[in-house]
Structure 1
Amino acid sequence: MAEIRETDVQERINTLPPEQLRGLVMRMYQRQPSFVLDIIDVHTTNDNSNRPGSSCGNIPVWCTCTFCREMPVDTEKVCCNKTPSNCHSRLRDFDIIVLDELVLEVARRMREDMLVEARDQNLNRANRYAAYRQYILWIHGHLGAGNRRVIPSCVIWRIRDKYPDPFGHYVGFIDGRLG
């Protein structure tokens, strides 16, 4: 049954004129930008010459998007693996879902209510942690207790730049509690 459906879809796609295909892709992008970017994104090479992204000028060799910075631990040396124009940390949705203060306030309140947690009086730290959770939820969905993912360096530093620790003390990645 799935083969027939896929064949029908393939046939319909093949009959669409190029302009309609472009419109279809744009509508798909509006509904799920990361899905479309994953499909059309062409990965750059690890060539450090002529790489425009990073503000610090020292782009790590493991970075594809050019916005990552060196990380203190090998497990944290992770990139989103997108082109500079499609880097997770530079998408419009990222600014809304991950960095917006009102969205983070709502996310913090919901977490505090559900887990009966005390409110963190350090607003930047509370926003940083909420932003990390928002990113994971946005990209990976709900993971569950002890199931963790390393957040790309480009994302970590965009969040830290917006909600910095005054002394530059950051915790870093902590592996799952259960495993």
Structure 2
Amino acid sequence: MDTEGLRTVLRLVCSKQPSFMLDIMETLEGGGPEEQPGSESRTAPSWCICTYCREMPTDREKVCCGKTKQNWQSRLPDFYTVVLDELVLEVAMRYYNDVLAEPRDDNINRSRRYAAYRQFIMWVHGKLGAGNRKVIPSCCVRRIRDTFPEPSGQYVGYLEGVMD
């Protein structure tokens, strides 16, 4: 297959499953963002590979993105665009509230966190639902919580579905 054919196949694969791009980037040397300058030193839990996770309250939540330091899933430009961008989250929240006919939550950080979790799941796994749930990697949860913190520091965490 020629170079243009490979590019076409890569575009098709990534359009069908965007998270594959993360795996492709990991294979490229120096293909991801570096640790942000001035960030605090990290002591990662023993189950963490990316070195950005923090300890989680339940064993079920102790999930790492499994990426190298150069390709932390939570530090990719697409993560910011899809999961943390406030305008994207605003549109996602309006759509979600409209579809479910739910009133808007007055706690803006809680609303944005919840929308960011949904955006991450849709970006990486596609549509999920009852009996088909996924745990968000700790490093990604950390980045979302650091961006949209709860003043009390108390978070709900992963909740099992009725059919899980």
When the two structures are superposed, what TM-score results if normalisation uses the length of structure 2? 0.81
Question: What letter matches 2:104 in structure 1?
Answer: R
Structure 1 residue 161 corresponds to structure 2 residue 143: no
For 1:78 and 1:149, locate their aligned partners in 2 and report how far apart those are by CA, in whole Å: 10
Q: Deviations 1:82-127 (Å, cap 9, x if unpaired)?
A: 1111111000000000000110010000010000111000000000
Give the equivalent residue in structure 2 for 1:47.
none
Give structure 2 stretches of 5+ with no counterpart: 28-34
Q: Aligned pair count?
A: 150
Q: CA deviation at 1:24?
A: 4.3
Identity %: 56
Give the equivalent residue in structure 2 for 1:173.
158
Q: In structure 2, which of residues 98, 102, 106 is the aligned counterpart of residue 117 of structure 1?
A: 102
Q: CA deviation at 1:57?
A: 2.1
Give the equivalent residue in structure 1 for 2:63.
78
Structure 1 residue 126 corresponds to structure 2 residue 111: yes
Moved over 6 A (4+): none
| 1:41 match: secondary structure | helix
Q: CA deviation at 1:178?
A: 2.8
Matches within 5 A, 1:1-150: 12=1, 24=7, 28=11, 34-39=19-24, 41=26, 55=40, 57-150=42-135
Relative contact order, CA 8 A, sep 6+: which one is greater?
2
Give structure 1 stretches of 5+ with no counterpart: 1-11, 43-51
Structure number with larger C-alpha Rg: 1
For 1:161 and 1:36, locate their aligned partners in 2 and report how far apart those are by CA, in whole Å: 25
Cα RMSD for the two superposed structures: 2.5
Give the equivalent residue in structure 2 for 1:46.
none
